[in-house]
Amino acid sequence: MLQTFTEYVPVSIKYEHVEHPNENASNIEVIQQAKINRHLKFRDGTNTLGIIFFCLIFGCVLGTLGPQKHIVINFFNVIYEVLLKMLMGAIWFTPLGVGSIICGKIISLGQLSQTLTQLSWFILAVAIGFGIYQFIIIQCIYFFFVRKNPFKYYGSFGPAILTAFATASKSAALPITFRIMDDKVKVDKRITRFILPIGTINMDGTALFISASIIFIAQMNNIYLGMGEILTIGLSCTAASMSSATVPSAALVLVLMLCSTINAPTEDVSLLFAIDWFVDRLRTTNNLLGDCYACAVVEKLSRVELSVSEDEDGGEYKMNGQAAAVGNGTCVIDIPRNETTNI
């Protein structure tokens, strides 16, 4: 377990050329074939994907224990409070530290104009990805399940989108989102009160941003990404985005963690700090809309269960009967069979 925090095991592929002479009657032809050898070896770095899945399994097993689990939970709560106080102290030096990192990285660049061009293309690529998600993917999902105009539903959340964009925090826009859900789009309160609070684990925009950032850093350093690496990045970013906090620029911490999955240098992540003030607002709106559309889809899929629950809660029961005895606050009623009346 301790080794996963300091080392990880990538697959090293080595191509070896093997010569096979092919003798014919007239000449001798030499055929070269490439032989692929795969090797497993340890490298320095954090095995982020292994830690994530270990923590998931650890949390699931911990939840099955009895009262003993509170000892472990209290221990991690104390660790969380200590780290939070340490982090609050470090936040006061963040502007100076981030500014120094960015200045140092800019000075070390040999071609500043080329780097700025690459960052501009990165912002454009991420914005296009967010646009495809907002205006195509979730709209199609909404229409497929709900069978209503998705853009009318989208327009109802204008104030919530503006609030999320201005604050770069989905939690800050939560009260406005609740009000729109209740008063404007009329989604069942039982659905919204359940989906929106736990929607902090539904970070679609964050997962998209982290994936794009890691691929961008890999391309800057001429790191080849095959299908296996792409799948690893997607799986790791999806799992890690569930743990992202609903505060500004929280995704950059995950980018630093997940760079080790492809052995990419973490120094280039400092360049993303300069543009994250804008990209963070775009991905926050994606995270917010993912929760809002999830409420509509879940309500549509749960309409039968919701109607049954309403009948059980709001049903009227009519009976005929006569009080047989009253005493100590208790009334015993004799109800004849097959008769219905009001009490």
Can you give the CATH number for the domain in which 150 is found?
1.10.3860.10
Task: Tell me: do 28 and 144 sit in the same domain.
Answer: no
Task: Tell me: do 143 and 247 sit in the same domain.
Answer: yes
Task: Tell me: do 233 and 155 sit in the same domain.
Answer: yes
Task: Give the model's pLDDT for residue 239.
Answer: 82
What is residue 285's three-state secondary structure? helix
Cβ count within 10 A of residue 31: 9
Q: What is the DSSP string of 197-237?
A: HHGGG--HHHHHHHHHHHHHHHHHTT----HHHHHHHHHHH
Which segment, 159-168, 244-253, 333-342, is predicted with the most confidence on average?
159-168
* Helix residue ranges, H only, the chain: 48-63, 69-91, 94-108, 112-132, 138-146, 150-155, 158-167, 174-183, 189-198, 204-220, 227-241, 251-258, 270-273, 276-301, 303-314
State yes or no: pLDDT of 130 exceeds 70. yes
- Calculate helix-pair angle for 227-241, 48-63, nearest 10 degrees: 40
What is the CA 142 to chain-centroid distance, rounded? 20
Residues 121 and 219: beta-carbon distance below 8 Å: no
pLDDT band with cut points at 50, 70 and 90 for residue 38: low
Task: Give the model's pLDDT for residue 307.
Answer: 81
- Calculate helix-pair angle for 158-167, 276-301, nearest 10 degrees: 140
State yes or no: pLDDT of 142 exceeds 90. yes
CA angle, 272 then 239 then 252, to 5°: 15
Task: Tell me: do 188 and 295 sit in the same domain.
Answer: yes
Task: Give the model's pLDDT for residue 128.
Answer: 95
Span 41-65, pLDDT tens digits: 665 556 666 777 788 888 889 888 8
Task: Tell me: do 193 and 117 sit in the same domain.
Answer: yes
pLDDT band with cut points at 50, 70 and 90 for residue 2: low
Say if 316 falls within a structural domain. no
> Which amino acid appears at position 299 of this protein?
E
State yes or no: pLDDT of 236 exceeds 80. yes
State yes or no: pLDDT of 34 exceeds 60. no
Say if 61 falls within a structural domain. no
Contacts of 125 (CB under 8 A, 6+ apart): 212, 216
Residue closest to 249 by CA, chosen among 215, 282, 220: 282
List b or e across 175-204, with b for residues whose CB sees 16 or more CB atoms inside 10 angstroms: ebbbebbeeebebbeebbeebbeebbebbb
Which of 48-57, 67-76, 78-87, 169-178 is the least confident region? 48-57
Say if 93 falls within a structural domain. no
Say if 62 falls within a structural domain. no
Instruction: Provide the residue range defining the domain that includes 116.
Output: 111-305
Hunting for tokens 């789009």 — which residue is that? 185
Hunting for tokens 């201005």 — which residue is that? 166
- Calculate helix-pair angle for 158-167, 174-183, nearest 10 degrees: 180
Task: Tell me: do 145 and 271 sit in the same domain.
Answer: yes
Task: Tell me: do 132 and 223 sit in the same domain.
Answer: yes
What separation in angstroms does the CA of 125 have from each of 121, 130, 172, 274? 6, 9, 27, 16
Which of 46-50, 68-72, 319-323 is the least confident region? 319-323
pLDDT band with cut points at 50, 70 and 90 for residue 185: very high
Say if 280 falls within a structural domain. yes
Task: Give the model's pLDDT for residue 331.
Answer: 52
Which of 169-178, 216-225, 235-244, 304-313 is the least confident region? 304-313
Structure letter (DSSP) for residue 136? I
Task: Tell me: do 179 and 259 sit in the same domain.
Answer: yes
Which segment, 130-139, 168-177, 301-310, is predicted with the most confidence on average?
130-139
Query: What's the whole-number mean pLDDT along residues 323-336?
Result: 50
Task: Tell me: do 165 and 26 sit in the same domain.
Answer: no
Task: Tell me: do 148 and 294 sit in the same domain.
Answer: yes
CA angle, 100 then 106 then 112, to 5°: 165
Task: Tell me: do 288 and 143 sit in the same domain.
Answer: yes
pLDDT band with cut points at 50, 70 and 90 for residue 25: very low
Say if 220 falls within a structural domain. yes
Cβ count within 10 A of residue 220: 17
pLDDT band with cut points at 50, 70 and 90 for residue 253: confident
Say if 267 falls within a structural domain. yes
Give CA–CA dist 254/93, Å, rounded.
20
Task: Give the model's pLDDT for residue 135.
Answer: 94
| Structural domains counted in the chain | 2
Which of 71-80, 101-110, 211-220 is the least confident region? 101-110
Say if 188 falls within a structural domain. yes
Task: Tell me: do 284 and 149 sit in the same domain.
Answer: yes
What is residue 260's three-state secondary structure? helix
Residue closest to 154 by CA, chosen among 278, 282, 296: 296
